A = this chain, B = another copy of it.
Amino acid sequence: MKTYHLSVVVATGLVGQEIVRLLQSRRFPAESISLYSSDRSVGRRVAVNQRELVISQTSPEAFRDRDLVFFAAGAEVARYWVPLAVQYGAVVIDASEAFRAEPDVPLVVPEVNPQDILNHKGVIANPNCSTIQLALLLHPLDKVNPIKNVVVCTYQSVSGYGVAAVDELARQTRMVLDGQTPAPHVFPHQIAFNVLPEVDVFMDNGYTREEWKLSEETRRVLHANNMIISATCARVPVNVGHCQAIHIEFVSSINTDDARRILSGAPGVRVTDDPSVSLYPQPWSVAGTNDVTVGRIRQDTRTPTSLALWAVADNLRKGTALNAIQIAEEGLKRGVI
């Protein structure tokens, strides 16, 4: 069996750490793994596959002789380093939004559009966490009964914004419980015991980039240019796990039994749906699991062609790190990495 030389760039963030953990637990055929980060964490030691690895400073040489590099950094870092890594001959799977809209960069959810991987020119982009979650659910339904439009409202956890955001939620929560008024640092306003309808920056049309990405990226992953997705994205005081309330209008009528059957058979999807015992997906129970979990499957009251769902996924797993590794696994299988 062939083995590969891997790198993880920014291996110390929430997503980078999750990639390193999953590479081990999924027994990814790694010949070697090297870990990189920004200045502050350089020199820190991390145990990987019973060996101790030292986190190194990112440099062009980091990509020499690497088969595959996972980028779990922000878009700015990715824009600088990804082209260098490709120049040195590595295939890059990038979790940032830097290359997602590039026509010759495949944007991939392996259960949905694995064939797109074949067209890569060195970079494969991981969609936004909310996109992966939504695309995975829409795809099996859309294949059977084309989707006209979707209204999706998100309840997103703070870990999507990184370690500092998780720390801020904990710190602010303690302060509020102690009767103090916390000042926001990471988020524009207090996030403890609050809801902020602002995920990523605002655009001129009144939408946030998160809402725009959720729409544009999902259409791209599904190859569904005519599907209309209208989103409201909000941040809630939850650590891990994004929720989505999804209201879908199809071309033809659909009943809940069919929808449940289709979703139950879809790869990467788990149906958890028994209202009689309050069984439905929730962040607390979905965090740490790999599937997109869906429940509350019911007829949308608007038309017999509409359906309503409630879905939760671990935004660090299937939302980011797991999807990136699945792209790599799919690429190996198809012989293009």
Residues of chain A whose beta carbon lies under 8 Å from any beta carbon of chain B: 149, 151, 153, 155, 170, 173-174, 177, 188-190, 193-198, 202, 205-207, 215, 228-230, 232, 234, 236-239, 243, 245, 247, 256, 275-276, 278, 280-285, 295-302, 306, 308, 310
Contacts and interface: CB of A to CB of B under 8 A. Distances in A.
B282 A153 contact: no
B193 A284 contact: yes
A206 B236 contact: no
Contacts of A285: 189
Contacts of A256: 206
Nearest to A300: B230
Given A189-B284, A197-B282, A230-B302, 13 more contacts: A151-B247, A155-B195, A173-B173, A173-B177, A189-B285, A195-B243, A198-B275, A198-B278, A202-B276, A206-B275, A230-B308, A232-B247, A236-B236
Contacts of A234: 155, 243, 245, 310
Given A151-B247, A170-B177, A206-B299, A280 B197 contact: yes
Contacts of A177: 170, 173-174, 177
B278 A194 contact: no
B151 A284 contact: no
B238 A301 contact: no
A206 B302 CA distance: 15
A205 B236 contact: no
Contacts of A306: 230
A198 B297 CA distance: 13
Assembly stoichiometry (copies): 2
Given A151-B151, A308-B230, A236 B195 contact: yes
A296 B197 contact: yes
Contact of A298 (B173, B190, B205): B205
Nearest to A191: B284
A229 to B, nearest CB: 7
Contacts of A215: 301
B310 A232 contact: yes
Nearest to A212: B301
Nearest to A312: B195
A239 B202 CA distance: 27
B206 A296 contact: yes
Contacts of A195: 155, 236, 238, 243, 282-283
Contacts of A298: 205-207
A155 B153 CA distance: 10
24 contacts: A151-B302, A153-B232, A153-B245, A155-B236, A170-B177, A173-B173, A174-B177, A177-B177, A188-B278, A189-B282, A189-B285, A193-B239, A193-B283, A193-B284, A195-B282, A197-B243, A197-B280, A197-B295, A206-B256, A206-B297, A228-B301, A230-B306, A234-B310, A236-B237
